[in-house]
Amino acid sequence: MEKDLDQQILNMSNKIQWSLGETFFRVKKLKELMDNNPAITDQVKVSLLALLNSLEEISSLYRHDIAQKIRDQIKR
């Protein structure tokens, strides 16, 4: 039973990590598309850049701190 719970925790942790990476990739792609569209105002571009930077920080925190701690504790 504990092994099943451990596997569920690891699976969920991996899914969160994947979804953060996927979101970061898609926002980055959206920013690139918007940068090439003169109809998009600079204010929107700046806001999207702030979102991109925030996602990068959150992803890094999760991947290098939270997810790593989860893996370390599950392996015990």
Rounded CA gap, 64 and 45, in Å?
28
Ordered by start, the domain boundaries in the chain are 2-74
Q: What is the pLDDT of residue 1?
A: 74
Q: What is the pLDDT of residue 76?
A: 65
Rounded CA gap, 23 and 31, in Å?
12
Does residue 53 or residue 75 have the better pLDDT? 53
pLDDT at 74 over 70: yes
What is the tally of helices (H) and strands (E) in the chain?
3, 0
Rounded CA gap, 34 and 45, in Å?
7
Q: What is the pLDDT of residue 51?
A: 97
pTM of the model: 0.81
Tell me: the pLDDT tens digits for 7-27?
999 999 999 999 999 999 999
